[in-house]
Amino acid sequence: MTLQPVTVPFLDLHAATAELAGPIEQAVLRVTRSGYYIGGPETEAFEAEFAEYTGAACCVGTGNGLDALELALRAMGVGPGDEVIVPSNTYIATWLAVSAVGARPVPVEPDPATHNIDPARIEAALSARTRVILPVHLYGQPADLAPILALAKHHGLRVLEDAAQAQGATWRGRRIGSHGDAVCWSFYPGKNLGALGDAGAVTTSDPEIAAEIRRLGNYGSSRKYICETRGTNSRLDPIQAAVLRVKLAHLDAWNDRRRAAAAVYLAALPGLGLGLPSVLPDADPVWHQFVVRSSRRDELQHRLAGAGIATLIHYPVAPHMQEAYADLGLAADDLPIARDLSREVLSLPIGPHLTREMQDRVIDALLQQTG
Ligand SMILES: *Cc1c(COP(=O)(O)O)cnc(C)c1O
């Protein structure tokens, strides 16, 4: 089969920047002329605006999402000998942050309907060493937070949320950003709120956690040239902050476009033998990904590519099956739900710049391939 050129891109980042080209270029120019190249008014303004948007008291910018997770864990005092409950089905960065502070990621399988950590399985994974439960709002759908928060309270544990894929999502009518003790964000360009490079943040309503993250990300110094802890350098760049301020003002509207596209898929795709995403009654997701499930996933992806439709797999290798985690001694079959998801999930094109015409092409191709 000869591959046609891609006619439906997976995510059109160029179109996103083009829609806001004027204000984005003005924002970059503003920083260029300001003389503030680390911290300063743009970074502070974004932190204040994002805290307000998420409903948290504090927001601390970081260099990226992985750093946000690592610094938040360190700020909570997690270190060697500690255990952190993580989803077995997530992007590898969630696990890497736990490992980076010297703690052990303890995986818990997802609810296969939502792909998010299954709260009913957490209790059995707790030990005397557990310090934190780290749910991920995967694909933009909030994890089932009520039982997780209750469990953490009961056992005296902290809850750290990985919200890298969930900017603007709500749970029980309140935006993600302040339900747990701290919430970590990535503004990697492809996220729902994306910068023009690396960027991240932590939101929290605990001023001590916020101050500690800021100190650790600033060399472990709260006063210039006085270093109390071996910290690191991870700060939100003011150019990225200025761009994020422009895009934050459009986030809800862009998420609504994703919601509309998801509704079109959800109406058109039943009956094709594909597993479709299901949404918890408490959750209003922002559809970072629209993930279907098929036992013939690789063949389906290949055929869609032949029809000019780009798809991706989130994620093709479950964390416990990665070479980096061979030392945990977990066999693929030890976490069968994560294993099966890694073999069967397929992410369809979705984003604020996916046109109805492009989406109809995706749906037509799926009808032909599976019908
Ligand atoms: C993107 C992402 C991260 C890492 O963010 P970076 O900014 O790329 O470091 C962490 N967790 C999840 C779930 C992500 O999707």
How far is residue 248's CA from residue 251's CA, in Å, rounded to a whole number? 5
For the segment 172-198, what is each residue's pLDDT rounded down to a tens digit? 999 999 999 999 999 999 999 999 999
- Which of 165, 192, 232, 312 to probe ligand 1 with, by most ligand atoms within 8 A of CB? 165
For residue 9, being part of any structural domain is answered with: no
Confidence of residue 5 (pLDDT cuts 50, 70, 90): low
CA 259 remoteness from chain centre: 17
Enclosing H/E stretch for 328: none
Confidence of residue 2 (pLDDT cuts 50, 70, 90): low
Domain endpoint, select from 198, 215, 248: 248
How far is residue 236's CA from residue 217's CA, in Å, rounded to a whole number? 10
Pair 84, 130: CB distance under 8 Å: yes
For residue 327, being part of any structural domain is answered with: yes
From ligand 1's centre to the CA of 93, what distance in Å? 6
For residue 260, being part of any structural domain is answered with: yes
For residue 2, being part of any structural domain is answered with: no
Asked whether residue 352 falls in the same domain as residue 280, the answer is yes
Q: What is the total count of domains within the chain?
A: 2
Asked whether residue 157 falls in the same domain as residue 273, the answer is no
Tell me: pLDDT of 72 over 70: yes
**Which ligand 1 atom is nearest residue 68's CA?**
9
The predicted pLDDT at position 4 comes to: 56
What percent of the chain is predicted at pLDDT more than 70? 98
Asked whether residue 223 falls in the same domain as residue 277, the answer is no
Residue tagged 């030392």 (tokens): 327
Range of the domain at 261: 251-370
From ligand 1's centre to the CA of 23, what distance in Å? 26
Mean pLDDT in the chain? 97
From ligand 1's centre to the CA of 314, what distance in Å? 12
For residue 7, being part of any structural domain is answered with: no
Confidence of residue 369 (pLDDT cuts 50, 70, 90): confident
Tell me: pLDDT of 309 over 80: yes
Token digits of residue 7: 């006619």
Please indicate whether residue 371 or residue 147 has the higher confidence score (pLDDT). Answer: 147
331 to 91, 177, 189, 267, 303: CA distances (angstroms): 18, 35, 34, 38, 31
What angle (nearest 5°) sits at the alpha carbon of residue 281, between those of residues 296 and 52?
110
Supply the DSSP symbol for 189.
Answer: T
Which of helix, strand or coil describes residue 128? coil
* Mean pLDDT value of segment 354-364: 97
* Mean pLDDT value of segment 228-238: 97
| Residues flanking ligand 1, CB < 6 Å | 64-66, 90-91, 93-94, 136, 162, 164-165, 186, 188, 198, 200
CATH number for position 358: 3.90.1150.10
For the segment 284-297, what is each residue's pLDDT rounded down to a tens digit? 999 999 999 999 99
From ligand 1's centre to the CA of 2, what distance in Å? 35
What angle (nearest 5°) sits at the alpha carbon of residue 194, between those of residues 189 and 200?
95
From ligand 1's centre to the CA of 268, what distance in Å? 30
Asked whether residue 59 falls in the same domain as residue 202, the answer is yes
For the segment 246-286, what is each residue's pLDDT rounded down to a tens digit? 999 999 999 999 999 999 999 999 999 999 999 999 999 99
For the segment 6-21, what is each residue's pLDDT rounded down to a tens digit? 799 999 999 999 999 9
For residue 308, being part of any structural domain is answered with: yes
For residue 8, being part of any structural domain is answered with: no
Q: What is the three-state SS of 205-244?
A: CCHHHHHHHHHHCECCCCECCECCCCCCECCCCHHHHHHH
The predicted pLDDT at position 3 comes to: 57
Measured by CA distance, the residue closest to atom 2 of ligand 1 is: 164
* Mean pLDDT value of segment 105-109: 98
Asked whether residue 237 falls in the same domain as residue 270, the answer is no
How far is residue 341's CA from residue 295's CA, in Å, rounded to a whole number? 10
Amino acid at 363: I
For residue 10, being part of any structural domain is answered with: no
- Alpha helix (H) ranges present in the chain? 13-19, 21-34, 41-54, 65-75, 92-100, 145-155, 207-216, 238-248, 251-268, 297-306, 336-344, 356-370
Evaluate the CA torsion angle 256, 262, 263, 268 in order and state its sign: positive
Amino acid at 44: E
Pair 187, 244: CB distance under 8 Å: yes
For the segment 319-349, what is each residue's pLDDT rounded down to a tens digit? 999 999 999 999 999 999 999 999 999 999 9
**In angstroms, how far is the first alpha carbon of the chain from the final one?**
20
For the segment 30-64, what is each residue's pLDDT rounded down to a tens digit? 999 999 999 999 999 999 999 999 999 999 999 99
Domain endpoint, select from 248, 275, 303: 248
DSSP 159-181: EEEE-TT-TT-EETTEETTSSSS
Supply the DSSP symbol for 350.
Answer: -
The predicted pLDDT at position 54 comes to: 98
Asked whether residue 141 falls in the same domain as residue 280, the answer is no
How far is residue 27's CA from residue 220's CA, in Å, rounded to a whole number? 30
